[in-house]
């Protein structure tokens, strides 16, 4: 019996993401993506202990103006332990056709986006990036369009998913962020 338990622990340890073990990082954040502006690898474990809003984005969408609200939200709470992570995607309506450089330039020049943005990737279907696969698995809710949002607490637990129709400045999102920020990391 003890040997079986030990074997099971060793087996689990060998398949657990190494950076999650090394940094006590949650499964939600134990992923590495290329940064949008320069394609430098970024380990999301650096955001462990923060309240995180994860958003799939697009430059040519009716919801693109949400970049403004997202940037305001980020500016307001970033010094309190909050971060927004943007993931451009061409999955919905082919509304993100540009290169990573074109997307980065658009976000910076049009909306002054300063929150972390990552290289364009798929967020739904069989080609979805591993973070979005995890978010979908945890919430049972896949993005239905651009600017779908997932809120993650300081421990890396996926708390809630918000539709594209939910503004970043909505009372519901702001109240939940403020509540989560009061919790200790």
| Closest C-alpha among 172, 119, 75 to residue 161 | 172
Token pair in block for residue 140: 């049972």
65-90: pLDDT as tens digits: 999 999 999 999 999 999 999 999 99
Q: Is residue 1 part of a domain?
A: no
Predicted pLDDT at 184: 82
Q: Is residue 19 part of a domain?
A: no
The CA radius of gyration of the chain, in Å to the nearest whole number, is 17
CA angle (100 as vertex; 96, 101 as ends), nearest 5? 120
Q: Is residue 5 part of a domain?
A: no
SS3 183: coil
Share of the chain above pLDDT 70, in %: 88
Q: How confident is the model at residue 185 (pLDDT cuts 50, 70, 90)?
A: confident
Token pair in block for residue 122: 């798929």
Q: Is residue 149 part of a domain?
A: yes
Predicted pLDDT at 65: 97
Q: Is residue 11 part of a domain?
A: no
Measured CA to CA, the distance from residue 157 to residue 138 in angstroms comes to 9
Query: Is a pLDDT exceeding 50 seen at residue 4?
Result: no
Contacts of 159 (CB under 8 A, 6+ apart): 151, 152, 153, 176, 180
Measured CA to CA, the distance from residue 58 to residue 179 in angstroms comes to 29
Q: Is residue 164 part of a domain?
A: yes
- Annotation says 61 is catalytic: yes
Predicted pLDDT at 140: 97
Measured CA to CA, the distance from residue 154 to residue 9 in angstroms comes to 26
pTM metric for this prediction? 0.87
C-alpha distances in Å from residue 28, one per residue of 45, 49, 87, 139: 9, 12, 15, 12
Query: Is a pLDDT exceeding 60 seen at residue 5?
Result: no
Q: Is residue 15 part of a domain?
A: no
Q: Residue 78 sits in a domain of what CATH number? A: 3.40.30.10
Find the catalytic residue in 25, 45, 61, 107. Answer: 61
| Closest C-alpha among 74, 50, 57, 55 to residue 156 | 50
Give the total number of structural domains in the chain: 1
Contacts of 176 (CB under 8 A, 6+ apart): 151, 159, 160
104-155: pLDDT as tens digits: 999 999 999 999 999 999 999 999 999 999 999 999 999 999 999 999 999 9
C-alpha distances in Å from residue 88, one per residue of 10, 64, 174: 38, 11, 23
Q: Is residue 9 part of a domain?
A: no
State the residue for tokens 């970043």.
Answer: 168
């Amino acid at each position: 019996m003890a040997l079986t338990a030990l074997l099971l622990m060793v087996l689990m340890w060998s398949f657990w993401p190494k950076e999650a073990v090394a940094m006590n990082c949650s499964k939600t954040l134990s992923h590495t993506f290329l940064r949008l502006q320069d394609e430098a690898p970024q380990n999301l474990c650096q955001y462990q202990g923060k309240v995180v809003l994860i958003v799939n984005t697009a430059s040519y969408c009716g919801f693109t103006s949400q970049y403004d609200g997202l940037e305001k939200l980020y500016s307001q709470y970033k010094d309190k332990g909050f971060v927004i992570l943007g993931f451009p995607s061409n999955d919905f309506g082919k509304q993100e056709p540009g290169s990573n450089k074109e997307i980065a330039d658009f976000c910076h020049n049009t909306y002054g986006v300063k929150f972390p943005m990552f290289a364009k990737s798929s967020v739904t279907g069989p080609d979805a990036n591993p973070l979005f696969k995890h978010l979908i698995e945890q919430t049972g809710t896949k993005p239905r369009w651009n600017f779908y949002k997932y809120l993650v607490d300081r421990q890396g637990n996926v708390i809630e998913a918000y539709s594209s129709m939910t503004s970043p400045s909505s009372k519901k999102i702001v109240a939940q962020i403020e509540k989560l920020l009061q919790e200790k990391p």
